[in-house]
Structure 1
Amino acid sequence: MSGTANHPLIFLDVDGPLIPFRSRPVGRGRSAAGTPARPPDGPGNPLLDRLDPDDGRRLLALGGRLVWATTWMAEANEVVSPRLGLPDLPVIEWPDDDEDPGPGLHWKTALLTRWAAGCPFVWLDDETTDADREWVAAHHPGRALLHRVDPHVGLTDADFATVRQWLTPGAGSRG
């Protein structure tokens, strides 16, 4: 993603935000030809039909540095990126330990904050809470938007509008 070195990071979860728990409405998750977005190598995971190929274009249009922040890890580049028309993205490598993150804190929060290293970031996930927002506000010197996506419907126009507004220079401070 050339030209984005100074742009905010956009951490992406897969299950929930990109693959919603419910089937997408008619017209979403389909290719331009009207067929489900399928991999070139066969049917694979049937839930992958819930991916909306337009999400890739819309994510790229945000102009941030996209980073996989999902338990899919490297498999996100192998399976999800091609279906969304995304290039290979950096991947957060989750530690194998079961360290307790603290009461109410999501297990990804501290690691993503450290990974951001003070850079502004957006985190699109279906499991963030106010506890995560408060923790990031207290431990991250840069701007941060922890945006909870409804896992039943996945990313929506309203989600993209919220992120675009936050990414606009001079818009809200910490989100």
Structure 2
Amino acid sequence: MCRYLVLLPVVLLLACSSNDPEVQLPPTRISEDPQLLDMVDLDGRYIDSMLIAPEGLEDLSPGEEVTITFEATGLAQVRQFEIVVELSPLSAFAVDRSIFRPQRPFISPFASGIEFNEDGTLRLGGASLASAGEGDQSLGTLTLTTTSQLANLSDVTVEVTLISLGPTFSDRDRFEGEDMHLGIAVK
């Protein structure tokens, strides 16, 4: 009898597994950093999930650009969005050369597409005066330029600390960094 009780957890585990290709796998990790994910399920009223897609990370050297595209799925009635990004360490990037370009139907309220905060974070945003963002679409692309400090650093990350979006300024979904762990390891 005792022998069957030992086998019970194994049988239950096998019964709960699935070979169904439609079963969603957990979010993938974009780096060796176990804390940062390149995709998170948000399950909000106005967004289902967010994916960040970096380009230019391979053999990155000082003075080169990294682009990060913010892809949203399941948008509903989104007319405004705000994304706050933390660069760590800040000295690895030429922040004054950073640019954010929102995708249509969104436009940016800032000249460079970025508001530089006193705490070293970058505030990205967009608003639509015409139509609302619906379905799956890109919110925009952030372009960062690395500095000469990059060569001396080993742990360089870009982390999203806030996503806030919705149909109006006062009616929004709000997701904070500790809930998401959304980001990339640059080096």
TM-score category of the 2 structures, normalised to the smaller one: under 0.3
Greater helix fraction, Structure 1 or Structure 2:
1
Q: Looking at CA atoms only, which structure, 1 or 2, has the larger radius of gyration?
A: 2
Q: TM-score, structure 1 length as denominator?
A: 0.25
Q: TM-score, structure 2 length as denominator?
A: 0.24
